[in-house]
Amino acid sequence: MHLDEPMGIFSKTCEYAMRAVFYIAQKSEEGQKVGIREIALHINSPEPFLAKILQKLSKDGLILSSKGPNGGFYVDSGGLQRPLADIVRAIEGDSIFTGCGMGLSYCSESNPCPLHEDFKKVRGQIVVMLQNTLIGKFNEGLIAGQLTLNK
């Protein structure tokens, strides 16, 4: 298994989406809309690929966008209150929240895989992390420069 760039538990698509949304949230809190170029630059992602991701999130209503000069992506105050889980679910689907850690097509108490008990806890902690993380949660830290979104 060859690894140029490390592979985490989320797909790249999802990682870009999470970073982008935090960046947009930060700018929205400052009252600004922000273009793809600027987002890509600040979260270190390929610009046209990011465009696709943001289009999807926008179509799903998870972020907002407007065209034309002074346009760009943004979130409203309601959006700032949504959990990061919504983003992840839109990109990765549900399986990260409910799937079996060993790849069985189900995850059930009555027919558990060997990792079932332990994995349930891990999954639970991931869910808690993503549900507790509201999109606007880190705006202060980001604005203050204590937190990072680019490599």
The single residue among 13, 35, 119, 149 that binds ligand FES, judged by CB under 6 A, is 119
Q: Which residues pair with 31 in a beta bridge?
A: none
Residue 48, contacted partner among ligand FES, DNA, a copy of itself, none, CB below 5-8 A by kind:
DNA
Binding to a copy of itself (CB under 8 A) within 69-88 occurs at: none
| Residue 21 near residue 62 (C-beta atoms within 8 A) | yes
16-25 core/surface letters (b: 16 or more CB in 10 A; e: else): bbbbbbbbbb
- From residue 57, how far is each of 41, 64, 131 by CA, in Å? 19, 8, 17
Instruction: Report d(CA 24, CA 91) in Å as an integer.
Output: 17
Q: Is 8 in the site for a copy of itself (CB under 8 A)?
A: yes
Check residue 101 for interaction with ligand FES (CB under 6 A). Answer: yes
Kindly determine how many residues on this chain lie close enough to bind DNA according to the rule CB under 7 A.
Answer: 33
- Please, which residue, 73 or 138, has the CB nearer to DNA? 73
Positions touching DNA (CB under 7 A) are 1-4, 7, 11-13, 16, 34-37, 45-49, 51-52, 54-55, 58-59, 65-73
